[in-house]
Amino acid sequence: MTIDPLSLLFIIVAIGFIVLFVLLPRYGPHYTSRLVCPNCRKAFNFHWVPGATITSIIQRGRRNLKCPYCHVKSNYDIMSTRVAKPKNASKVKQKT
């Protein structure tokens, strides 16, 4: 059985899509943003993944989020309030 180049290309694209939309959001880098609600002035942490969803690609560094305290929806700049860098697999590098 031989695989023609077109179906081979389709398989490569399909694998690329799985990596981009399934594996990266789950196991890829995570960011934490320290956000302050403009309504009740309370600070809360928000965990997010860069470029994981279609909305994050469209909205870039901004997210519409509900405040966990007063439940008022506001638009937050999660890019500039980022506090944590993506975690590196530091546990793997441990020396014996």
Cα gap 48→44, rounded to integer Å = 13
> CA–CA separation, 79 vs 50, rounded Å?
9
Stretch that binds Zn ion, among 6-14, 21-29, 48-56, 70-78 (CB under 5 A): 70-78
How far apart are CB 63 and Zn ion at their closest, in Å? 15
Around 52, how many Cα atoms within 13 Å sit in the side-chain half-sphere? Answer: 15
Between 18 and 37, how does the x/- string for binding to Zn ion read (CB under 5 A)?
-------------------x
Tokens coding 7 = 């179906």
Binder among 40, 43, 57, 84 for Zn ion (CB under 5 A): 40
Interface residues toward Zn ion, by CB under 5 A: 37, 39-40, 67, 69-70
